[in-house]
């Protein structure tokens, strides 16, 4: 019997050229949420930051580049990798959180939608190719993958382009220590509904959770920590401790749920592509998931990481990381046909999702 799966047939990424190192932040004056200056030497603040997050440097988009521009570049690479005709794409799904933010401004621009701009940039004339954006916090790209899978299963679409793109560098409060976490980038994939046969490549299972009661504002937009700042101008804000506690409690459970739905033994899992939020948090999540299975220790090569040099680019972390490993350009990490991997993310909302996928 034919077995139709949602298969990733091509990937692409755009890594911005501007490198911002931790030393660049040592001249900053940091303020706390109470608007009081943090008296700790900025060099010590930066040192502790790297110790916790693992981030040594991050990438920022150049002044002339917007989120939709980066998305289009990543998309073109993915389409070429898939070897497909862009006119045959049924849907373009673009995940982001802030739209296009023009350099040196804080105003977001989502008119038209970024997906529409990408379709224009790709010069796709087919009116049946439907472009739309999704806002789902950092798990947005994975949610786009889940959405494409659902459309395939419903028989509504056969080929989708899923993109995650963000320029977080343009919504940062330079007086907030958390500003050092965030970065820019874009990742994309082409997905197709294919009859791959039993045991063939494709999505095996998905899992999604959302907690929107007291958790809803763990990430939000707020005024600068600087006491004399204009309260009308808003920046990305994060309750770091709350996010950490939430992730540690809920993400391992969601990941296990996804793996169990697929009927996959934890020992058969080859790689985990987790949202690059914070090195210590990601390591803790993986350990907690393996603990749920009573398995110890965690395999050393299970979790590729790009956060050390790319920072946290929100919706772009998972697709850019996957593209890097898929192309064999990350030392000590490789993928082969038949390998089972798990995608997982957590972010604003608060939202969690996971996808179990066979290469």
Q: What is the mean pLDDT of the chain?
A: 94
pTM: 0.94
Residue 161, CB-side half-sphere exposure with 13 Å CA sphere:
40
Taking alpha carbons only, the member of 355, 341, 309, 332 closest to residue 22 is 309
CATH architecture of 4-195: 3-Layer(aba) Sandwich (3.40)
Radius of gyration of the CA atoms of the chain, in A: 20
Give mean pLDDT, residues 54-60. 95
**CA-to-CA distance for 301 and 104, rounded, in angstroms?**
40
pLDDT (0 to 100) of residue 27: 86
Q: What are phi and psi of 75, to 5 degrees?
A: -65, -45
**CA-to-CA distance for 159 and 165, rounded, in angstroms?**
20
CA dist list (Å): 97 to 26, 33, 162, 341, 349? 28, 23, 15, 26, 11
Q: What is the pLDDT of residues 207-253, one digit of tens each?
A: 999 999 999 999 999 999 999 998 888 999 999 899 999 999 999 99
Q: What is the pLDDT of residues 270-320, one digit of tens each?
A: 999 999 999 999 999 999 999 999 987 899 899 999 999 999 999 999 999
Confidence of residue 354 (pLDDT cuts 50, 70, 90): very high
pLDDT (0 to 100) of residue 42: 86
**CA-to-CA distance for 250 and 235, rounded, in angstroms?**
27
Give mean pLDDT, residues 141-156. 96
User: CATH topology of 4-195 equal to that of 202-358?
Assistant: yes
**CA-to-CA distance for 312 and 304, rounded, in angstroms?**
14
Confidence of residue 124 (pLDDT cuts 50, 70, 90): very high
Question: DSSP states of 280-295 as a string?
Answer: HHHHHHHHHHHHHTT-
What CATH number is given for 202-358 in this structure? 3.40.47.10
**1 vs 244, more confident:** 244
Domain boundaries, the chain: 4-195, 202-358
Taking alpha carbons only, the member of 97, 346, 350, 64 closest to residue 235 is 97
The answer to whether 155 and 284 are in contact (CB under 8 A) is no
Least confident of 63-67, 69-73, 140-144: 63-67
């Amino acid at each position: 019997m034919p077995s139709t799966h949602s298969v990733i047939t091509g990937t692409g990424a755009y890594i911005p050229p501007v490198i911002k190192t931790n030393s660049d932040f040592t001249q900053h004056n940091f303020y706390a949420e109470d608007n009081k200056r943090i008296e700790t030497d900025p060099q010590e603040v930066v040192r502790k930051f790297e110790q916790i997050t693992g981030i040594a440097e991050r990438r920022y988009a150049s002044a002339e580049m917007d989120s939709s521009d980066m998305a289009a570049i990543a998309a073109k690479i993915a389409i070429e990798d898939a070897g497909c005709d862009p006119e045959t794409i049924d849907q373009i799904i673009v995940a982001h959180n802030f739209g296009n933010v023009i350099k040196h401004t804080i105003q977001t621009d989502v008119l038209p939608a970024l997906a529409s701009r990408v379709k224009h940039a790709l010069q796709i004339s087919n009116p049946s190719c439907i472009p739309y954006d999704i806002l789902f916090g950092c798990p947005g790209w994975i949610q786009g993958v889940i959405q494409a899978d659902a459309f395939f299963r419903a028989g509504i679409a056969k080929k989708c382009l899923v993109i995650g793109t963000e320029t977080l560098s343009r919504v940062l409060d330079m007086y907030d220590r958390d500003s050092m976490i965030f970065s820019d980038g874009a990742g994309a994939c082409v997905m197709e509904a294919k009859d791959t046969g039993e045991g063939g490549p494709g999505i095996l299972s998905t899992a999604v959770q959302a907690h929107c009661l007291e958790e809803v504002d763990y990430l939000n937009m707020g005024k600068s920590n600087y006491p004399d700042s204009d309260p009308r101008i808003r920046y990305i804000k994060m309750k770091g401790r709350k996010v950490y506690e939430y992730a540690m409690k809920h993400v391992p459970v969601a990941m296990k749920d996804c793996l169990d739905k697929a009927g996959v033994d934890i020992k058969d899992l080859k790689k985990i592509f987790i949202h690059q939020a914070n090195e210590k948090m990601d390591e803790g999540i993986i350990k907690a998931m393996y603990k749920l299975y009573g398995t110890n220790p965690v395999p050393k090569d299970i979790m590729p990481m790009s956060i050390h040099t790319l920072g946290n680019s929100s919706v772009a972390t998972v697709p850019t990381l996957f593209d890097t490993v898929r192309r064999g350009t990350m030392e000590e990490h490789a993928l082969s046909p038949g390998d089972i991997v798990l995608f997982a993310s957590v972010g604003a909302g608060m939202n969690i999702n996971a996808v179990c996928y066979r290469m």
